[in-house]
Amino acid sequence: MNIASALQGLATFSWLVFVGIIILAVFRASRARPLKGAVSIIIILGVLSLILTTVSAGLVFLQADQYGIVISAIQPTGYRPEPLTPGLHWVVPFVENVKSYSIAKQTYTMATATGEGPVSGDDSIQARTKDGQQVYIDASVIYSIDPAKLVQLHITWQNRFEDNVVRPVTRSAIRDAVSQYGVEEIVSTKRADLEQTISEAISQGLSSNNLIMVDFLLRNIRFSDEYAAAVEQKQIAEQQALQAAFVVQQKKQEAEQARQVAQGQADAVVIAAQGEAQAIMLKAQAQAQANDILAKSLTSELLTYTYINKIAPNVQVMYLPSGTPLLLPAVNP
């Protein structure tokens, strides 16, 4: 509790005591038992209550996040030109009073879900894209009062700035920005650009009305049921096309694999045939060389000798053509 509030409480208590003493003095006087020193006590309590009330009315304490506008009956304009800063201040009692404003950050939300913002029910922003699609946007804007411009804000809007400035400026900026983009852009490649465009427009709109935009949050983008169904069908078709392309690619790979296997088998047959032909040729060459050597080694004497050895020893009489040389083994006597 600050000193100004304490003095106000003390002044209220002193007035209660003052009234209580008056009632007690009247009651005892009606019973012919007057309260001794009642008049002095009443006067002292009255003066003390008046002093406490006057002092408490002149003291104003502002919290760390508060600034105050002094409404003054002695100022030509009706107010002091400079706002009061946080802390304890003195104003002229009963002639001046203070209207306090919080300069802390505040959030204003407009969303589909009930209870997320100050407006009950669906408070999302309806906007139409460049290509004519209806979208619904959930957004929050974080802002604060500009302390240096508090007096002008009070004169222009007083405490109506949230409904009359923050809300309409934000909704207008969102609608204007969305109309510059296509529906596919704002949900993919251009979403960051859209958010930046909205943020700049809101900042400019609030600044011209003595407020400061701290941040803008583009929370969600929702489509109409018809467009959402169309997007879903498109995604399904794209998935099916990708699946079909995958199957085609798989078949191509299988065909290429089969072709390579067949080519390998054909190459193996050719290599085997070439090897067999080469083996036959080498064998034929070896046989030819053997025959040639054999032919050169066969003389008439060798053939006769071999012939006689084949028919001996069972032959007893043998007729030979005339002129044929006779080769007989030598017989020892």
Kindly state the tokens that stand for 148: 């240096």
Region for 328 from its dihedrals, namely left if φ exceeds 0, alpha if ψ lies in -120 to 50, beta otherwise: beta
pLDDT of residue 330: 44
Query: What is the pLDDT at residue 45?
Result: 86
Element (H, E) at 121: none
Domains of the chain: 3-100 (no CATH), 106-223 (3.30.479.30)
Q: What are phi and psi of 214, to 5 degrees?
A: -90, -45
Sort 296 into a burial class: Cβ within 10 Å, 0-12 / 13-18 / 19+: exposed
Q: Cα(171)–Cα(119) distance, rounded to whole angstroms?
A: 14
Q: What is the 3-state secondary structure (H, E, C) of 135-178?
A: EEEEEEEEEEECHHHHHHHHHHCCCCHHHHHHHHHHHHHHHHHH
R_g (Cα) of the chain, nearest Å: 59
Question: Cβ atoms within 10 A of the Cβ of 62, count?
Answer: 20
Tens place of pLDDT for every residue, the chain, 333 residues?
577 788 888 888 988 988 988 888 888 777 777 777 778 888 888 899 899 888 888 899 999 999 999 999 998 989 999 999 999 999 999 899 999 999 999 999 999 888 888 888 889 999 999 988 889 999 999 999 999 999 999 999 998 999 999 999 999 999 999 999 988 888 788 889 999 999 999 999 999 999 999 999 999 988 877 675 665 566 555 666 666 677 778 778 887 887 788 788 877 787 877 878 887 888 878 777 877 776 776 666 666 666 667 666 665 555 555 555 554 554 444
Q: Look at residue 105 in the predicted model and tell me its pLDDT.
A: 95
Q: Which residue has the tokens 């007057």?
A: 34
Helices 167-178 and 191-207 cross at an angle (nearest 10°) of 140
Nearest to 3 by CA among 107, 88, 114, 94: 88
Length of the chain equals 333
CB 158 within 8 A of CB 148: no
CA 260/CA 220 separation, integer angstroms: 54
Q: How far apart are CA 26 and CA 35, in angstroms?
A: 9
Q: What is the pLDDT of residue 149?
A: 94
